[in-house]
Amino acid sequence: MSTEAATAAARRSKITPERETELYDAVLRLLREGGYDSVTMEGVAARTKCGKATLYRQWGTKPQLVTAALAQRRCTVFTGIDTGTLAGDLREAGRIAASHRERDAELMEAVAQAFIQHPDLRAALRETVIAPEVAAIDAMLARAVERGELDADNPAIGFVAPCFMGMLRIERLFEDRFTDTANMRTFVDAVLLPALRVEG
């Protein structure tokens, strides 16, 4: 955990878990209703009967509050996957991603434009939401190298996490092409494994 994250966690410890969940739920409702720009400290305070000063004291900034709310709702889905083979790990990641797609996509789309326009939000999301998932995928690849399944100098290694995460984001823009919920398994088998030169 970064120093900044540790400090934020220490500040939040003064709020009960139930109250924290109530505040996060208000943030997520505002995101669904109008996107990132509709979320304000004033709006969250009004919906939860919480002092605006309390929100600033606990989270500091709107991007930190929004990121914390998203992180609480979206568990790290790839951590803990270890089937014993790289093909198995990536297929399991694809299966889990497909099962979470609709739930996560709605909220992530609500902040998609803001992610581009607001560097502070982008940095917070990368650290709290995106980095753990990327680290989990990178760990799968590292284990495959250790087992001898994958050459350490394989140039495709560095592209696996970006491709995997990018596919999750882009498939909703091509819903006419990716209508089958099993498309992530196909993506793993037809694109990732051949690029890595790994037998399935």
Q: Where are the domains of the chain?
A: 3-72, 76-196
* pLDDT given for residue 74 in this prediction: 65
List, for residues 91-128, the tens digit of each pLDDT value.
999 988 887 766 556 677 778 778 888 898 888 888 88
Report the pLDDT value the prediction gives residue 199, as an integer from 0 to 100.
80
Give 83's DSSP letter.
-
How far from chain centre, in Å, is Cα 25?
17
Whether residue 34 has pLDDT greater than 50: yes
C-alpha–C-alpha distance, residues 141 and 98, integer Å: 20
Q: Read off the pLDDT of each residue in 16-30 and give the average, rounded to a whole number.
A: 93
CA 25, 171, 33 angle in degrees (round to 5)?
Answer: 25
Q: What is the per-residue pLDDT across 116-174, written as a single tens digit (0 to 9) for each?
A: 888 988 888 888 888 889 999 999 999 999 999 999 999 999 999 999 988 887 776 77
* E strand map for 19-76: none
Q: CA–CA separation, 173 vs 88, rounded Å?
A: 27
The predicted-structure confidence for 50-99, as pLDDT tens digits, reads as follows 999 999 999 999 999 998 998 877 656 788 999 999 999 999 999 888 87
Residues 130, 74: Cα–Cα separation, whole Å = 10
CA dihedral 112, 74, 99, 195 (to 10 degrees): 70
DSSP letter for 49, please: T
At 84, is the secondary structure helix, strand, or coil? Answer: coil
Q: Tell whether the model's pLDDT for residue 179 goes beyond 50.
A: yes
Q: Which of 51-55, 188-192, 196-200 has the lowest mean pLDDT?
A: 196-200
Using the predicted structure, report yes or no on whether residue 10 has a pLDDT greater than 50: no
Which CATH architecture describes the domain 3-72?
Orthogonal Bundle (1.10)
What's at 102, amino acid-wise? E
- The DSSP code sequence of 152-200 is TT-TTHHHHHHHHHHHHHHGGGGTTT--STTHHHHHIIIIIHHHHT---
- Count how many residues are written for the chain: 200
Would you state the pLDDT for residue 130?
86
Q: How confident is the model at residue 3 (pLDDT cuts 50, 70, 90)?
A: very low
pLDDT for res 113: 75
The set of residues, in sequence order, having a beta carbon less than 8 Å from that of 91 and lying 6+ positions away, is 83, 185, 188, 189
